[in-house]
Chain A
Amino acid sequence: MRRIHQLSLLLPLAFFIAACVQYLGIVSGDVYSLAAIYTRDGFILISLILSLPLIYKQKWASDRNVLRGLRHLFFLIIITSGILFLSDERLGLLQERFLEKNVLSASLADAVFIISWAFFAVVFILIALGTLRNLIYVKRKRTTARNFTWLMIVLLLYSLASVPEYYSESALDSTLLKYLNYVLLFIFINFAVINSFRVGWINYLNKKQKLGCFWGGLILTPVQIGFLSRFRDINPIMSFSPLLERFIEMGMVFLTIYLVTSFLALLSHLPTAKIYDRKMQQVQSLQDLSRALSSEFDWAKLVRTIIKLASEVAESEFAWLELYDPKSGKLALISSRNLSQSERQKWKASTDGRLVDKLSRTKDTMLFNQASKAELVRSVKKWKKDIGSLMAVPMIASDRILGFLYAAKKEEFGFEQDDAEMLRAFSDQAAIAVQNARLVEESIIKERLEQELRIAHEAQMKLLPKHMPKIQGIEIDAVCITANEVGGDYYDFFELGDGKLGVVIGDVSGKGPSAAFYMAEVKGIMEALAKEVRSPKAMLVAANETLYRNFERKTFISLIYGILDAQDRRFTFCRAGHCPLFLVNSHDEQPRLLEPRGLGVGLDAGTVFERTLEQMQIELKEGDTLLLYTDGVTEARNPKGDEFGEERLAETLLQVKSGSPTEIKKSIIHNIYSFFDGQNAYDDLTFIVIKAQSDEKAR
Chain B
Amino acid sequence: MDTFSIKRIDNDDYSTLHLEGFLDAHTAPELESEFEKLMGEGRFNIVVNFSELNYISSAGLGVFMGCIENIRENGGDIKMCCMTPKIFRVFDLLGFPALYDIVDDEEKPLNYFANKTHKFS
Give chain A's interface residues, CB within 8 Å of chain B: 485, 488, 507-512, 552-556, 558, 577-580, 595, 597-600, 603-604, 608, 612, 631, 635, 682-683
Known: A599-B98, A603-B99. A578 touches B93 (CB 8 A): yes
The CB with the most chain B CB atoms within 10 A, among A554, A555, A595, is that of A554
| Interfacial residues of chain B within 53-99, with CB under 8 A of chain A in the complex | 55, 57-59, 61-63, 65-67, 69, 90, 93-96, 98-99
Evaluate contact between A554 and B93: CB separation under 8 angstroms.
no
The interface residues of chain B lying within 8 Å CB-to-CB of A509 are: 58-59, 61-62
Contact status B94-A600, CB under 8 Å: yes
CA A595 to CA B66, docked complex, whole Å: 26
**Cα distance A330–B14 in the bound complex, in angstroms:** 32
Task: Contact check, B95 vs A597: say whether CB atoms are below 8 A apart.
Answer: yes
CA distance A604 to B94 in the complex (A): 11
Partner of B58, one of A507, A512, A612: A507
In the bound assembly, the distance between CA atoms of A603 and B93 in angstroms comes to: 13
Whether the Cβ atoms of B94 and A554 lie closer than 8 Å is: no
> Does B94 contact A577, Cβ atoms closer than 8 Å?
yes
The verdict on B114 contacting chain A, using a C-beta distance below 8 Å, is no
Question: What's the dominant secondary structure at chain A's contact region?
Answer: loop
Given A510-B58, A612-B98, also A556-B65 (CB < 8 A):
yes
Kindly list chain A residues whose C-beta atoms are within 8 Å of the C-beta of B99: 599, 603-604, 608
Bound: A509/B63 CA distance, A: 10
Q: Could you pull out 8 A-B pairs where Cβ atoms are within 8 angstroms?
A: A510-B59, A577-B95, A579-B93, A600-B95, A603-B94, A604-B99, A608-B99, A635-B55
- A599-B99, A631-B90 are known; give 6 further A-B pairs, CB within 8 A: A553-B66, A554-B65, A554-B67, A577-B94, A604-B98, A612-B98
B66 touches A558 (CB 8 A): no
How far in angstroms is the closest Cβ of chain B from A608? 5
Contacting pair B95 A510 (CB below 8 A):
no
Which residues on the A side are within 8 Å of B66 (C-beta)? 552-554
How many residues of chain B get a CB closer than 8 Å to chain A's CBs?
22
Is the Cβ of A511 less than 8 Å from the Cβ of B25? yes
Bound Cα distance from A604 to B69, whole angstroms: 11
A552 to B63, CA, bound (A): 11
A604–B65 CA distance with the chains assembled, in angstroms: 10
Mask of B25-64 contacts with A, CB within 8 angstroms, 1/0: 1001000100000000000000000000001011101110
Chain A hits for B59, CB < 8 A: 509-511
The reply to whether A558 and B93 form a contact with Cβ atoms under 8 Å apart is yes
Are B95's CB and A553's CB within 8 A?
no
User: How far does the alpha carbon of A278 sit from the alpha carbon of B54 in the complex, in Å?
Assistant: 66
Q: Bound state CA distance, A595 and B89, in angstroms?
A: 12
Contact A598:B65 (CB < 8 A) given known A509-B58, A511-B25: no
CA distance A481 to B22 in the complex (A): 23
Pairwise interchain contact A555-B94, C-beta atoms closer than 8 A: no
Cβ contact of B95, chosen from A485, A511, A612, cutoff 8 A: A612
Compute how far the CA of A574 lies from the CA of B96 in the bound complex, rounded to whole angstroms: 17
Q: How far is the CA of A580 from the CA of B96 in the complex (A)?
A: 15
Complex CA gap A603/B64 in Å reads: 10
Chain A residue nearest in CB terms to B58: A509
| A553 touching B65 in the complex, CB below 8 Å, given contacts A509-B58, A604-B99, A608-B98 | yes
Closest to A645 in B: B86
